[in-house]
């Protein structure tokens, strides 16, 4: 699971980031609102300070909610700033923590938000089993030797069965908004992934091509847990 941590305080990023990594999360960091908007497409949850340089947290919150209404957002607010907290919740934040806070409490709230958002610790589609936290995949009980990019690509598709992803959207979400590559990169990695999954492109069990658009994970086998 990827957590995007957004705050302009380097010390806070270091300490809270260490706790999140210790809990098994991959952490992306941003010290201003513009960088946060670049990184949020790759995140499973955002921890967002409201007072940010370049672009304040409220504007970031509005943009994230517009693009990804399902993404869990945890606000960081200053003590006594009730109006800020109310405004943030009205704009779509899911929860808040008041500074100064316990990093352990933040980690606990992150886990609770992910549970509420329905981000499963295990996804099973027939013979395919994915463990997002451990970043492991199994096919018919045997571990799949996936690269980091292949796992991220497979997880992105499997977390949204039936949803069509354009190549551009997959590039942005898996490779990141700054990746200078072309759409063909996605096709190459999908082909490699299908080979490891023993998935026939003409009669796929898992990854289906949507002609002229992109790819989707088949809905035929619903996740078992």
Query: Nearest Cα to 55, choosing from 72, 35, 73?
Result: 35
Q: Coil, strand, or helix at residue 49? A: strand
Highest mean predicted confidence (pLDDT) among 16-20, 158-162, 176-180: 16-20
pLDDT of res. 208: 93
Q: List, edge to edge, every strand of the sheet that includes 136-139.
A: 123-125, 128-131, 136-139, 142-143
**From 162-171, 179-188, 190-199, the region with the lowest mean pLDDT:** 179-188
Q: By the 8 A CB rule, do 119 and 1 touch?
A: yes
pLDDT higher than 70, residue 139: yes
What number is the average pLDDT over the span 102-131? Answer: 82
pLDDT of res. 103: 92
The CA distance from 19 to 37, in Å, is 23
Q: By the 8 A CB rule, do 45 and 73 touch?
A: yes
What number is the average pLDDT over the span 57-76? Answer: 87
Q: List, edge to edge, every strand of the sheet that includes 207-210.
A: 165-166, 214-217, 207-210
Higher pLDDT pick, 212 / 223 = 212
pLDDT of res. 36: 93
């Amino acid at each position: 699971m990827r957590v995007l941590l957004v705050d302009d305080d380097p010390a806070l990023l270091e300490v809270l980031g260490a706790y999140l990594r210790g809990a098994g999360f991959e952490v992306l960091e941003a010290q201003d609102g513009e960088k946060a908007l670049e990184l949020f497409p790759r995140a499973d949850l955002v921890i967002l300070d409201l007072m940010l340089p370049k672009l304040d947290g409220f504007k970031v919150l509005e943009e994230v909610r517009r693009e990804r209404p399902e993404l869990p957002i945890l606000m960081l607010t200053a003590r006594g700033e009730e109006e800020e907290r109310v405004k943030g919740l009205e704009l779509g934040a899911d929860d808040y923590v008041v500074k100064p806070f316990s990093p352990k409490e933040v980690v606990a709230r992150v886990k609770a938000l992910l549970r509420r958002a329905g981000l499963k610790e295990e996804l099973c589609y027939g013979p395919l089993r994915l463990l997002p936290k451990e970043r492991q995949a199994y096919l018919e009980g045997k571990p799949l030797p996936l690269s980091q990019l292949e796992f991220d690509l497979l997880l992105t598709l499997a977390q949204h069965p039936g949803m069509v992803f354009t190549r551009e959207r997959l590039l942005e979400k898996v490779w990141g908004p700054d990746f200078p590559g072309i759409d063909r990169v996605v096709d190459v990695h999908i082909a490699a992934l299908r080979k490891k999954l023993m998935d026939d492109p003409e009669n796929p069990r898992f990854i289906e091509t949507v002609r002229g658009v992109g790819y989707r994970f088949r809905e035929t086998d619903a996740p078992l847990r």
